[in-house]
Amino acid sequence: MLETVQGWVNEAGYIAVLTGAGVSAESGVPTFRDAQTGYWAQFRPEDMATEAGFRAHPQRVWDWYQYRRDLLADVEPNAGHHALARFAQQHPGRLTLITQNVDGLHQRAGNTGVLCLHGDIFSNRWLDTPRPCCHLDHAVAGQPPHCDRCGNLVRPGVVWFGEALPWATLQAAEDAARQCDLMLVVGTAGAVYPAAGLAHQARAAGAQVVVLNPAPSALDNTAHALLRGTAGTLLPPLLGC
């Protein structure tokens, strides 16, 4: 089956790739819930990844995200990240990378223009609509930082539970899904929407869909082909990188 999909890759004029937590797990990145260990295990996800939780305990939530940022400091992109980056560099305009991950490993591997559906854990933004006095570069240091004029708090630049995905990013991802000849769904259980819906959109638009995952996923029935294995094992030979 790998050789068949290699042929699809070679024939495809335009490829969309959707990646999930499994790609980063190979680099040792803990999942959202795996990171809630030790001291952090006492808190529910709703306490740590919702606007309400942040407003109720801003320092606690800020410190948890800083803890997660620190966990990522020594993590490196793996062979799967690098294979995607090399293919994109060798075939300009042929691949759009869409990710559910917030860890920035695709970008560190050399991918540009990554569509980050769930944001970027290393970026920040204002909690409330910024006023003219709000400038991230001049936020007062703290846990979390804040605007010294109006008190607006700085929050992590990720999508929390109950929040909409960034509209422009989602639109670009849906455009890629509808226009691609081939979609590779890599390292995701396919249970989180609207991200998982991209595979359905791609198939409905006539693209071939391939799921690469070590275990069964909720998108297996949508796929034309299933490749069992990790991104680091499968992507280098599949993409010739």
DSSP of 111-140, one letter per residue?
Answer: --S-EETTEEEEEEEESSPPPTT--GGGPB
Neighbours of 7 (CB within 10 A): 10
118 noted as active-site residue? yes
Question: How far apart, in whole angstroms, are the C-alpha atoms of residue 141 and residue 37?
Answer: 27
Q: What are phi and psi of 184, to 5 degrees?
A: -105, 125
Report CA-CA distances (Å) from 135 to 125, 145, 150.
10, 11, 11
Q: Which of 57, 118, 135, 224 is catalytic?
A: 118
Tell me the catalytic residues.
Answer: 118
